[in-house]
Chain A
């Protein structure tokens, strides 16, 4: 197979996929399953009149706040806990147990504590990406090559310098995996929060179009969110290559 994948196969894939989608949509009633032509038309229209960008901008606010809070808490906690074998062993079962709770089931709690608006949405985003980041940071710190730490000790690198020069760089591929998986989850949480608390921004648009049986608009909004999620993850991958160029093939 000598086909150049990115140049030939990917565009072909998109065209073929759209054809299959169009064919399926022609068979099914329009109210149930919109064809891609209608979806792309709605996407262009909603982008053109500014409603979709405005909603996305509103949604990004709680997503970013929740994500940044999660990053700020999860990375230091992960590093400190990961460096202490006894503490890491002791908290592991609790972490696994809490991680097993479906995050959306926490929604009633967040309503009790934070109400129905911005704070509650931030809390859900935080809950949905915090553990993802923490687990990766923990794994990264615990997997640091012992030889590296021994070398640091023999060179009498201690205290803050040890973290800055040895621990954090050595764990950074895992930290970046956590940041990347985490931002994907944050985008997920962004729309989940808008659907499960008071419906605003994208969640409101999605609910309204569904209530009106406007599947073309619903598809267009879902597509926009997915594209945004993909862009965020690729952005993180790009940052990773800039910040830690020595680490190749971080696909876990």
Chain B
């Protein structure tokens, strides 16, 4: 399929979707499901009344802390587990356990441990991101070609040199992919934590949700959707731009 045809199809898909939304919205009315036109028309008021962008920016500032911490810890643990059979065996059962643990179930407990403030939100976002980054990095680290490492050894590279000049570049695309998946989960976790204690962007969603009209609620959802897609696409673009050689290998499910 040509690029032009693919884009024509995508645009048609979006147009059909918006049209359907408008029709369904008009049938059900604003209280149940506001039509697209009403959401767009009401968007400036939503932004003003709920300080939407201010709250969102504040939420993301807090998200970044937990997310980057999760990426750093996940990367280091992932590389260590991928390169050491002993550490792999010792950490694997706990990592598998943490990986399936529901973020929402941690929220009431973390409120006791960390309070309602910044530490709580950092901890929740950290727990959401770290295991995905770890898992993807781990798979990458296990898959590093032994020939690469043998070549490094043949050239008498030190362990540090091998790590920075061979292992890290080989892992780079995996780390980026892990960060991308981790980000999606970090955003979800942020909304979970914030809706539970009714602050920040999650608080906006909660408060807009109890209004009679769904215009503000849908406006808020559209906003987080656009931000989420934009950030994920940026990370994807960054990966393709800086590591074009691995694109095909990263057929990881989201």
Which residues from chain A sit less than 8 Å from chain B, CB to CB? Answer: 1, 3, 5, 8-10, 12-14, 16-17, 31-33, 85-86, 89-94, 96-109, 111-113, 135-136, 139, 177, 181, 184, 187-188, 191-192, 195-196, 206-207, 209-210, 213, 215, 218-219, 221-222, 225-226, 229-230, 233, 251-252
Contact = CB atoms under 8 A, between A and B. Distances in A.
Contact of A104 (B9, B17, B188, B253): B188
Contacts of B108: 195, 206-207, 209-210, 218
A105 B13 contact: no
Contacts of B88: 5
Interface of B is mostly: helix
A252 B90 contact: no
Interface residues of B, number: 63
Contact of B224 (A5, A102, A135): A102
A92 B100 contact: no
B137 interface: no
A230 B14 contact: no
Contact of B214 (A1, A96, A112): A112
A9 B89 contact: yes
A184 B93 CA distance: 17
B188 A102 contact: yes
Interface stretch (B47-55, B64-72, B204-212): B204-212
B85 A1 contact: yes
8 contacts: A9-B90, A13-B89, A31-B112, A104-B191, A104-B195, A108-B217, A191-B104, A195-B196
Given A9-B86, A85-B1, A104-B188, A187 B102 contact: yes
Interface stretch (B153-161, B163-171, B225-233, B239-247): B225-233
A177 B253 contact: yes
